[in-house]
Amino acid sequence: LAEGGEGGGEVGGGAGGEPVAPGRKARKNNNAKRIEYVFDRKREWPLAEALNHVRAASSCKFDETLEVVFKLNIDPRKADENLRGSLSLPHGSPKPSRIAVFTRDRDSAAAALSAGAAHVGSEDLAEAIASNTLVPRDDASSSTDRRATRGGQIPNLRPRRWNALTRVIASPDVMGVVGKVGRILGPRGLMPNAKTGTVTRDVVAAVEEAMKGVVAYRTDPYGNVHMPVGKMSWVDERLVGNLVAELLGIMEAKPAAVKKKYLKGVVISSSMGPAVKLDFNAMLKELQNKAK
């Protein structure tokens, strides 16, 4: 607070820079609280301490997601160095699973629904995605858009129902049908791919594995891999278990063409919090010692 003029009043700034009346405290928003939390951002922290820093800097009212970024020493422009795949997390995925399955086999379709798939079909499923009429099974009664106006007909403002999907699985014989909606699924990372295990003849097993908690990953243009770890409300044991599984999965997925140093850095953060560097070399050494 700065001293005023002749009156000696105090003039300060609130959360948005507004003047504060004398005798009143300036309110601090969540961003100010995060900035106030000070720690060495250049240091690589042990996992337990890094999690403590992430929790201490988190001040949002909603349940944030713990995220991890692996900085890899690869060139995504080269086909033999590009990284893409999926990992099964031991403690589940932070996102609820909503899976769509493309198959023509009736027995597989029934088994996939029993295993937890939200939508099953072939040509009809592709048409529903293309026409934006994909209604969740557990929400079929609320298919009307809440934003409907008096006329009730605003097709351009209907929610994109295929955005609710987290994974799309297909058998090889219907990939021609899936290709018709590739422009919708592809940019959102939902297009089935053999590398991620979403193009398979055993769609039931793929659904069962996905329901346990599977995250898909791919390198961004800068050679980084982003993955969710878990919710901040989870206990540390669950977060550590998922993070270790993701670290080992990335190390095992090292492209054969990469002869130089592969992993350059690991950073964790909450959805709205600051990034905290991890001492991943110490983590790898500890895992190697346990394996022995």
Q: Please answer whether residues 2 and 10 qualify as being in contact, where contact means their C-beta atoms are separated by less than 8 angstroms.
A: yes
In this predicted structure, what is the pLDDT of residue 28?
A: 53
CA 159 to CA 166: how far, in whole Å? 16
Mean pLDDT of the chain: 79
**Residue carrying the six token digits 């700034």:** 13
Gyration radius of the chain's alpha carbons: 24
What is the tens place of the pLDDT at every residue in 129-145? Answer: 888 777 655 443 333 33
Which amino acid is located at 32 in the chain?
A: A
DSSP code of 234? S
CA 170 to CA 191: how far, in whole Å? 9
Q: Give the DSSP per-residue string, 168-211.
A: EEE-GGGHHHHGGGHHHHGGGT-S--GGGT-B-S-HHHHHHHHH
What is the tens place of the pLDDT at every residue in 239-265? Answer: 999 999 999 999 999 998 888 899 999
What is the tens place of the pLDDT at every residue in 163-198? Answer: 578 889 999 999 999 999 989 888 888 899 888 889
Q: Which percentage of the chain shows pLDDT scores above 70? A: 77
In this predicted structure, what is the pLDDT of residue 32?
A: 53
Give, for 2, the enclosing helix (H) or strand (E).
Answer: strand 2-3
Burial class from Cβ neighbours inside 10 Å (0-12, 13-18, 19+) for residue 87 reads buried
In this predicted structure, what is the pLDDT of residue 286?
A: 83
Give, for 230, the enclosing helix (H) or strand (E).
Answer: strand 224-231
CB atoms within 10 A of CB 230: 23
Helix/strand/coil for 263: strand
pLDDT, mean of residues 105-131: 90
Helix/strand/coil for 119: strand
What is the tens place of the pLDDT at every residue in 42-86? Answer: 889 999 999 999 998 887 888 899 999 999 999 888 888 888 888
In this predicted structure, what is the pLDDT of residue 144?
A: 34
DSSP code of 217? E
Q: What is the dihedral of CA 272, 273, 279, 285, to 10 degrees?
A: -50
CA 37 to CA 39: how far, in whole Å? 7
In this predicted structure, what is the pLDDT of residue 200?
A: 92
What pTM was computed for the model? Answer: 0.67
CB atoms within 10 A of CB 258: 16
pLDDT, mean of residues 11-17: 47
Here the tokens at position 242 are 């998922």
Phi (first) and psi of residue 161, to 5 degrees: -70, -25
In this predicted structure, what is the pLDDT of residue 112?
A: 92
Here the tokens at position 197 are 């295990």
Whether residue 101 has pLDDT greater than 80: yes
Whether residue 147 has pLDDT greater than 70: no
pLDDT, mean of residues 28-54: 76
Q: Which percentage of the chain shows pLDDT scores above 90? A: 37
Which amino acid is located at 198 in the chain?
A: T
Whether residue 225 has pLDDT greater than 80: yes
Q: Please answer whether residues 273 and 54 qualify as being in contact, where contact means their C-beta atoms are separated by less than 8 angstroms.
A: yes
In this predicted structure, what is the pLDDT of residue 161?
A: 53
In this predicted structure, what is the pLDDT of residue 30?
A: 56
Whether residue 94 has pLDDT greater than 70: yes
